[in-house]
Amino acid sequence: MIEQLLDDHHLNKNKITSLLSSLAVKGVDYADLYFQHSVAESWYLDEGIVKSGTYHISHGVGARAVRGEQTGFAYSDDLNAKAIEQAVDFAKGISQHQMPQPIKAFQSVPQVAKYSGLSPLGSLTSAEKVDLLKQINSIARKEPKVKQVSASLSGAYTEILIVSTDGVYQKDYRPMVRVSVSVIVEHDGRIEHASSGGGGRYDYRYFIDHNLAEIYTQEAIRQALVALEAKGAPAGNMPVILGPGWPGVLLHEAIGHGLEGDFNRKGTSVFTGKIGEKVASEKCTIVDNGTLANRRGSLTIDDEGTPTQNTTLIENGILKGYMFDKLNAGLMGKESTGNARRESYADIPMPRMTNTYMLNGNDSLDDMIASVDEGIYAVNFDGGQVDITSGKFVFSANEAYLIKNGKITTPVKGATLIGSGDDVLKKISMVANDLKLDSGIGVCGKDGQSVPVGVGQPSLKIDQLTVGGTEVNT
């Protein structure tokens, strides 16, 4: 699509080179143009009826000029040459000069794709998409306690072209699909809600081939039925065991953001200046890996054209590095780690996570549970709040259990985990060998931009954490 779009606007390689040269005036250290074409759709079913559907097409170009720590940026929703020239003129206003500088010759380096380059939107017919949603409704209705069901199916396909003054001329073709299921259950006047879902850089047939409509629906029902039995959570300082997979969102929010290059360049992260120091238990090794095939957070190249990589952030408790884009890496004398990300052509790229997770340890979940006299086993998280620079967090566990005398007992609700990321890392005493990644639901927000991400971890034990509860003493 993007090749045809550029051809329609007479934007061949020579014209694009001319536009980039005009952007790279004297005084500009780096400049790039980011062309994008995207199509997206969504289908929403409620109470057995498809009540809404959307289809959206967008395209445009972002022009960026960097001078030291300063960035000049403008974008255009129109791809005609005059509109792009106006965006270029605005962005290069960061320099007082108007004389173009030489730019490096383009080097289009073939990359090993991390996902299919085909649009997922046509992988099912409209009737098949509706049938998939209706199947979710039928499965859920088999449980008598289910009173309401909603489900959504969404897909997107984005094509980009990145050209920059350091010789990048790279294209990428990015699919994305997702299914979400939500149920409300009722028993003896008590009402609870739960949701499940997943996706990734696949086409829609991935859900059918792996029977995921059934799996996601049953998981939403399971969580809701557990919630019906839950008691108020206790409060106080106690051991907390986190389950594998989605609980890694706590690591993402409370620790991962603090390892992004911009916060560390500006000195606003608790991890600033601590490379080579012990910042966590020796049980902890944490990576950011954008190279995993078909994962929601994966990219073949980042949004500056740098190949993604598997970056070790913390190894055996020692801080090894940060996540960088080109701007922050250059200012800190480092190389980009392939973590430049942007929501769209209308946004400035910044260092962001891809798939961030803790590696396996050698302990077992059974041993962890047996080691706790009284504590909490948190399996799923609902939401939370985090101060990115300090790492202080409050997270709500929507599925958790009380541990008594080394055994998992009553499900509890209303448990909130309170602490700071750097402190929690040091209190991890056991890490299991059961690493899971999330099912493909992660969305990360930063400075008003949202991007898809992945999280994960094995089960782990935090020796002491503050738990806010709802238990009523009688």
pLDDT value for 472: 52
Please compute the mean of the pLDDT values over residues 451-457 and round it to a whole number: 98
Q: What is the SS3 string spanning 233-247?
A: CCCEEEEEEECCCHH
Q: What is the mean pLDDT of residues 11-29?
A: 94
Average pLDDT over residues 381-405: 88
As a whole number, mean pLDDT of residues 377-388 equals 86
Helix H or strand E encompassing 222: helix 212-229
Q: Answer with the residue of higher pLDDT: 264 or 473.
A: 264
**Residue 470 confidence (pLDDT) above 80:** no
Position 107 confidence tier, pLDDT thresholds 50, 70, 90: confident
Paired strand residues for 450: 445
Contact criterion met (CB below 8 Å) for 159 and 174: yes
Q: Where are the domains of the chain?
A: 2-229, 232-468
**Residues 410-432, mean pLDDT to the nearest whole number:** 95
Per the DSSP assignment, residues forming a β-bridge with 399 are 380
Phi, psi of 53 (to 5 degrees): -155, 145
**Residue 409: CB atoms within 10 Å:** 13
394 pLDDT more than 50:
yes
CA-to-CA distance for 271 and 390, rounded, in angstroms? 9
Q: What are phi and psi of 138, to 5 degrees?
A: -65, -40
Region 176-203: what's the mean pLDDT?
A: 97
**Residue 230: DSSP 8-state:** P
Closest CA to 441 of 155, 197, 247, 213: 197
Residue-level pLDDT at 460: 98
Q: How confident is the model at residue 474 (pLDDT cuts 50, 70, 90)?
A: very low
CA distance 212 to 153: 12
Mean pLDDT check: name the lowest of 200-214, 332-346, 374-388.
374-388
CATH architecture of 2-229: 2-Layer Sandwich (3.30)
Taking the C-alpha atoms of residue 469 and residue 472, their distance in angstroms, rounded to an integer, is 9
Region 314-334 average pLDDT? 98
- pTM for this one? 0.95
* pLDDT tops 70 at residue 473: no
